[in-house]
Structure 1
């Protein structure tokens, strides 16, 4: 059944390229289709930007860089406050877009909008709090001044799974710091980004601020946009969220220009349940950590490492919780699990589940794709899983919870850290001493203790090892768009 966008929303939805404060078609006239993953039907066609569009967008960002850098922090803060208020006022429309193009249940989509707006609010508050330093040198011969100034025009490449949160988490600190930007939204979910970009464009215009501060180039080929920009010496910053493989390619392309880079890459999050854990709380946290966006998040719990003494009971309770989830189109009432983003995602999840079961794993619930329109896979719990199974060693990006047992804390840490990734780890225990040991020993940039959610606009988000470089969120997220300049007086 087709589910078109509400007419009132579709009528005010930009679908072009935003350059220097003006929406227009792609120079080539090309477009690409955006699908509803809950029906596998086309929602709308969007401008398919190319090298010419990308260069014009960077032209605008470079021209606006000086005037925007000289704009007062208070004006930047007021702009972000107005964008925050507009996003909250239009939360229903933005959430409807998130659900339509990404498949999230509406409750999750509304939560994402609130989360995104909090980033805009936070960085609006931080725009007037960029610290410097002034002191007399130890030798007493001169004074030292350390200023922090905007790094320059930035290329912001956002992922498909959090289309409003990611534009907020990247654009807000860039604008607060005084950087202009070119945004490359995800091909699968560009509509939400375009809608929010129009909010920002309108607020800039209302204040007679530089029109090229935020530019957006949707495209069906990320390389077609990123390659010419990364080779342009006017670009001084790259922020990317996506897979480790693509991130490594972008880092190589950014190296000749020695660009400042922020990389939020892949994960393989362990979810540890110790023998003293509150199992009801652990199951609640497991569902939260695993099933947001049907498991399609970089911080999704990917491996459930459970002490052997409580593994059977934990698996029983988790199976019951997963079986109670309601699978369906995100716009329908009562749905708690939406579709995967595209057909290839369903095929990959089915493949790793089949490989696990061929190796002896037991399906406790789910394990297959239902026969219906859209790209769905049932919430799945696997037990008796080999630690070497792909569903454990690779980032599944789907609604599958493999349970692996351990016998003691040392083995739990060895299993948890036995991956090239290090984005987030979760652990449930009531032992305060163990909590401190885990905080010291877990190889992850973020650690959730007795909770299944770690993200917060005021806290640094990012990972270790191949999970990335730099941080988004909090004070450190602002630092990513600033460079220190030392002046000897």
Structure 2
């Protein structure tokens, strides 16, 4: 084998965002991709095992949330035999993949990033828009920019990880650390709401030499299938990531019941994550080691406004954080705390007026600010929560209307409550519902404590103030209430390489995707000491007389 230098990767930076303004080449390119995709659907998606399509014949639909009578794709649900073949194939490929030189692994992910942001940009965005209900801007953030960023910054962070070496060597000794992949396979269980998260949940373990079984969300199957296709085109060996759509409980159980199960990379609901953790704990006696469990789950994210906050900016930030992508982001704003002086000044009227301006419609029409919720179960659940809030005495300040006749559309809804522990202040909704609690100006510090103790979550939150002392107080009192904390900015929009993302408490293991931290979780370090000087006797100097 040729002697390889310790190569330096290219300079890594965030993918520039494109505007998709009228009459631009980008708008025309995306419109063409949408038209082409709509003329060809529904697509047929197989499982992909060792790079080969596997069709079970058990076809399941992925309806389009803006037009639920039509499917973006139908996918072949994986059988137990298919899942077993996926595990066997991944384990068979493990040795060659982890032994591949780092420069070659890095090159695969750098090429994948260029394919995402170049050749497949519009197709991947179109799949995300039609299948997951995102508008053009949200699809650009997700399927183009963030996914490209995840792949590129993964290369940067792993290069830095491998450079973490012991700082001291005794005379005649060379100490070094090897970052091995886990011993077995990693199961990636990915959500519908971000195409980029799907790519990262398999990409992060794979880039450090792990093999993966990928279980995509049924509501995000087609875009995930395209990401898998891109990874293969970039040169990923076909057995390193196995693509197994189908029934989540059955596929996941088969994987975590396997002796070679070595890790879980999960984004989804808190309840499911807790259940999986318990199942894994009950299986500890069958595993070779202790599986790594990495998860990002729910949130009940907040904005806190101090009496010195700017009303106009605060309202705009709230609307974007709460209603972009119909509130279907893990980080989406769900509860706000406003001092009475601001509320009775202009905050109430401004929030109502601006919320009522938010347009809702299909992703294929570029003028709409937000689109549908993902499916009927989500629609029914959110609708019932709004009805429950009304029954409990909540005031509907804006929105509240729901229509599922063609797509699953819910008008962005603002509820005012007098009970800081009412259902919509405590329960995760994952939809376009924002609840306001008005506090007395003198109770700012007590409100910080209220925010900290009201829910079990700890994902994102923001403080708005022009008083530096107030910012300091809130930052301290809320230090455990949010893994991503924002000052005079909305609680959504973490950027890879800038704001490592993740929360603690019931929101997950806070392993910070988009940073070097996540890669420690999918490696198992080996310390190596090499001695160059032969000893001549076994006595200690203190034994001599």
TM-score by length of 2: 0.83
Q: How does 1:146-295 map to 2 (within 5 A)?
A: 146-152=177-183, 153-162=185-194, 164-204=195-235, 210-219=237-246, 221-255=247-281, 256=284, 257=287, 258-295=290-327
SS in 1 for 2:431: coil
Whole-angstrom distance in 1 between the partners of 2:241 and 2:44: 15
| 8 Å contact kept, 1:136–1:142 | no
* Larger of the two Rg values belongs to structure: 2
| 8 Å contact kept, 2:445–2:474 | no
| 8 Å contact kept, 2:42–2:74 | no
CA-CA distance at 1:175 after TM superposition: 2.5
Q: Could you say if the C-alpha distance between residues 421 and 8 of structure 1 is closer, same or farther in structure 2, counting changes exceeding 3 Å?
A: closer
SS in 1 for 2:293: strand
Residue matched to 1:412: 447
List structure 1 runs of 4+ shifted beyond 4 angstroms. Answer: 7-14, 135-138, 140-144
What residue ranges of structure 2 are gaps of 5+ in the alignment? 1-33, 531-545
Q: Identify which range, 8-17 or 458-467, moves more after superposition.
A: 8-17
Whole-angstrom distance in 1 between the partners of 2:472 and 2:516: 24
Q: Is residue 483 of structure 1 aligned with residue 527 of structure 2? A: no
SS in 2 for 1:155: strand
| 8 Å contact kept, 1:149–1:484 | yes
Residue matched to 1:60: 89
Residue from 331, 352, 358 that aligns with 2:391: 358
SS in 2 for 1:33: strand
Q: Could you say if the C-alpha distance between residues 11 and 363 of structure 1 is closer, same or farther in structure 2, counting changes exceeding 3 Å?
A: closer
| 8 Å contact kept, 2:397–2:413 | yes
| 8 Å contact kept, 2:201–2:266 | no
Q: Identify which range, 385-394 or 453-462, moves more after superposition.
A: 453-462
Q: Is residue 77 of structure 1 aligned with residue 106 of structure 2? A: yes
Q: Identify which range, 9-18 or 38-47, moves more after superposition.
A: 9-18
Deviation string, structure 1 residues 78-134 (Cα, Å, up to 9, x no partner) = 111111111112211111111111111122112212112111111123333323323
Q: Is residue 464 of structure 1 aligned with residue 464 of structure 2? A: no
Whole-angstrom distance in 2 between the partners of 1:86 and 1:149: 28
Whole-angstrom distance in 1 between the partners of 2:522 and 2:35: 36
Q: Identify which range, 264-273 or 354-363, moves more after superposition.
A: 354-363
Q: Could you say if the C-alpha distance between residues 364 and 34 of structure 1 is closer, same or farther in structure 2, counting changes exceeding 3 Å?
A: same
How many residues align structurally?
478
SS in 2 for 1:356: helix
Residue matched to 1:444: 482
| 8 Å contact kept, 2:273–2:297 | yes
| 8 Å contact kept, 2:68–2:406 | yes
SS in 2 for 1:182: strand
CA-CA distance at 1:296 after TM superposition: 1.2
Deviation string, structure 1 residues 273-309 (Cα, Å, up to 9, x no partner) = 1111122221121122111210111111111111121
CA-CA distance at 1:479 after TM superposition: 1.8
Residue from 23, 29, 53 that aligns with 1:23: 53
Q: Is residue 120 of structure 1 aligned with residue 120 of structure 2? A: no
Q: Identify which range, 69-78 or 424-433, moves more after superposition.
A: 424-433
Residue from 27, 36, 41 that aligns with 1:6: 36
CA-CA distance at 1:233 after TM superposition: 2.1
Whole-angstrom distance in 2 between the partners of 1:181 and 1:9: 33
CA-CA distance at 1:245 after TM superposition: 0.5
Residue matched to 2:370: 337
Whole-angstrom distance in 1 between the partners of 2:390 and 2:323: 21
Whole-angstrom distance in 2 between the partners of 1:467 and 1:47: 32
| 8 Å contact kept, 1:67–1:210 | no
Whole-angstrom distance in 1 between the partners of 2:280 and 2:311: 46
Q: Could you say if the C-alpha distance between residues 391 and 100 of structure 1 is closer, same or farther in structure 2, counting changes exceeding 3 Å?
A: same
CA-CA distance at 1:462 after TM superposition: 1.2
CA RMSD of the aligned region, Å? 2.2
CA-CA distance at 1:325 after TM superposition: 1.1
TM-score by length of 1: 0.92
Residue from 423, 431, 434 that aligns with 1:401: 434
SS in 2 for 1:128: helix
| 8 Å contact kept, 2:64–2:70 | yes
What residue ranges of structure 1 are gaps of 5+ in the alignment? none
| 8 Å contact kept, 2:306–2:470 | no
Whole-angstrom distance in 2 between the partners of 1:191 and 1:8: 13
SS in 1 for 2:360: coil
| 8 Å contact kept, 1:238–1:259 | yes
